[in-house]
A = this chain, B = another copy of it.
Amino acid sequence: MFELDLRSRAPIYEQLVEKIKELIVNNVLKPDEQLPTVRVLAGSLTINPNTVQKAYRELEHRGYIYSLPGKGNFVRAAVPENNSIRLQNLENDFLRIVSEMLYLGMAPSRIDSLIQQALAKSEGGKNYD
């Protein structure tokens, strides 16, 4: 499914959260699609099931997946209504990054080009891997 960087300073469960979120956001994992079970994913990554469970609980808390005890963990479809807090946080991160880009000397035209790139990827279909 993906790889981990065990030598990274970032905790394994956080890396898991980010990687899975990435797959959801980029529509590689579709709404209501089942994620690997805790034990299977732990086995294939040779890490502890508790670590996977911690990542899944975090993803559920952030609204990206839901779990059905006895059945599995599934991708939660995005609900544009209930995302104002997350969107506010993203806006803050966004502004921080743009400020730093400008400070480091990136041309505004380059930033525009990045936006176009992201929009194109989002509008036209989903997976270009």
Selected from B25, B83, B93, the residue in CB contact (under 8 A) with A99 is: B25
Given contacts A90-B97, A97-B90, A97-B97, contact A108 B117 (CB under 8 A): no
Which chain B residue has the least Cβ–Cβ distance from A102?
A: B122
Q: Count A interface residues, CB 8 Å.
A: 37
Selected from B90, B108, B114, the residue in CB contact (under 8 A) with A95 is: B114
The answer on a CB contact under 8 Å between B111 and A86 is no
Judged by a CB distance under 8 angstroms, whether A112 is at the interface is yes
Which chain B residue has the least Cβ–Cβ distance from A14?
A: B9
Judged by a CB distance under 8 angstroms, whether A124 is at the interface is no
The contact sample of 11 A-B pairs, CB cut-off 8 A, is A21-B100, A22-B96, A80-B104, A90-B97, A90-B100, A90-B106, A94-B111, A98-B114, A99-B122, A102-B118, A112-B115
Q: Chain A residues in contact with chain B, CB under 8 A?
A: 21-22, 24-27, 78, 80, 83, 86-87, 90-91, 93-106, 108, 111-112, 114-115, 117-119, 121-122
